[in-house]
């Protein structure tokens, strides 16, 4: 059976870590929508465009071509931006770009096209509420802001990204605020989503919880029990 899984939640809640593993275990496609907003942001910064200038950012919409390859490589106009889009200078601007409706509409079109006719797990902020409102399973993954900042800081250190725990926590708080207060498709749980608080859960536990939910759903049982 074709299955679509939406995972939403605030910054650095571990959505992509979990989604990648679930995708491998279920042999379905993982779609990282945040990478698309990050790639668009990178393009604007590369071209000297102020990310807080909506008109200027939207004006280049036809010039930005973003591709997500099967191996999780992210291309922007053919350039491999997989690593650079995780840098703090991109993170600090991405929520402005993601608040512009015209840019969202263009990227959502791409996301829906990628999800057409196949089983997917897609993570972001508005997947269950806007991009895939009919998703079979909707997860809203949270953790305390301190825990999320610590996880992202550790991840950054492993990748050799220069930052401090304080700067990461500030970025996470700022993005959460902008993402949940924008007018169009803000970050919020879909009414039919299942909340998973991962503050005290290991990655393996979260993955198993989601796989259990999928298995129950596939057997036709209610997943909200």
Q: How far is the CB of 91 from ligand CDP (least distance, A)?
A: 6
30 lines the binding site for ligand CDP (CB under 6 A): no
Contacts of 99 (CB under 8 A, 6+ apart): 178, 179, 182, 183, 184
Report the site for ligand CDP in 84-103 (rule: CB under 6 A): 94-95, 98
Q: How far is the CB of 149 from ligand CDP (least distance, A)?
A: 11
Q: Which region among 10-18, 55-63, 155-163, 207-215 touches ligand CDP (by CB under 6 A)?
A: 10-18
Q: How far is the CB of 133 from ligand CDP (least distance, A)?
A: 13
| Number of other residues whose CB lies within 10 A of the CB of residue 10 | 21
Q: Judge whether 111 and 39 are in contact, CB under 8 Å.
A: no
12 lines the binding site for ligand CDP (CB under 6 A): yes
Q: For 70, which DSSP code? A: T
Q: What is the side-by-side order of every strand in the sheet holding 120-124?
A: 29-32, 120-124, 4-8, 137-142, 194-197
Report the site for ligand CDP in 31-90 (rule: CB under 6 A): 33-34, 37-38
Among 11, 39, 44, 132, binds ligand CDP (CB under 6 A): 11
The number of residues that bind ligand CDP (CB under 6 A) is: 16
Report the site for ligand CDP in 143-182 (rule: CB under 6 A): 175, 179
- Report helix, strand or coil for 117: coil
Q: Judge whether 22 and 196 are in contact, CB under 8 Å.
A: no
124 lines the binding site for ligand CDP (CB under 6 A): yes
H helix or E strand, kind and range, residue 157: helix 145-159
Q: Which residues bind ligand CDP (CB under 6 A)?
A: 11-12, 16, 33-34, 37-38, 94-95, 98, 124-127, 175, 179
């Amino acid at each position: 059976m074709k299955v679509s899984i939406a995972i939403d939640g605030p910054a650095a809640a571990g959505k992509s870590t979990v989604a990648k593993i679930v995708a491998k275990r279920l042999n379905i496609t993982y779609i990282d929508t945040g990478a698309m907003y990050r790639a668009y942001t990178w393009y604007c910064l590369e071209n000297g465009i102020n990310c807080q200038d909506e008109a200027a950012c939207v004006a280049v919409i036809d010039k930005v071509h973003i591709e997500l390859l099967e191996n999780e490589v992210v291309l922007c106009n053919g350039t491999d931006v997989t690593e650079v889009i995780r840098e703090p200078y991109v993170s600090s601007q991405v929520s402005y770009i993601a608040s512009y409706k015209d840019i969202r509409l263009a990227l959502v079109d791409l996301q829906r096209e990628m999800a057409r006719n196949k089983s997917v797990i897609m993570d972001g902020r508005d997947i269950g509420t806007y991009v895939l409102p009919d998703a079979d399973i909707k997860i809203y993954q949270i953790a305390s802001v301190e825990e999320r900042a610590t996880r992202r800081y550790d991840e950054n250190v492993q990748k050799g990204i220069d930052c401090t725990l304080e700067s990461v926590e500030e970025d996470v708080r700022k993005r959460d605020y902008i993402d949940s207060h924008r007018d169009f498709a803000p970050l919020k749980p879909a009414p039919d989503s299942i909340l998973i608080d991962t503050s005290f859960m290991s990655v393996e536990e979260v993955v198993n919880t989601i796989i259990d939910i999928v298995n129950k759903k596939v057997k036709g049982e209610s997943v909200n029990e």
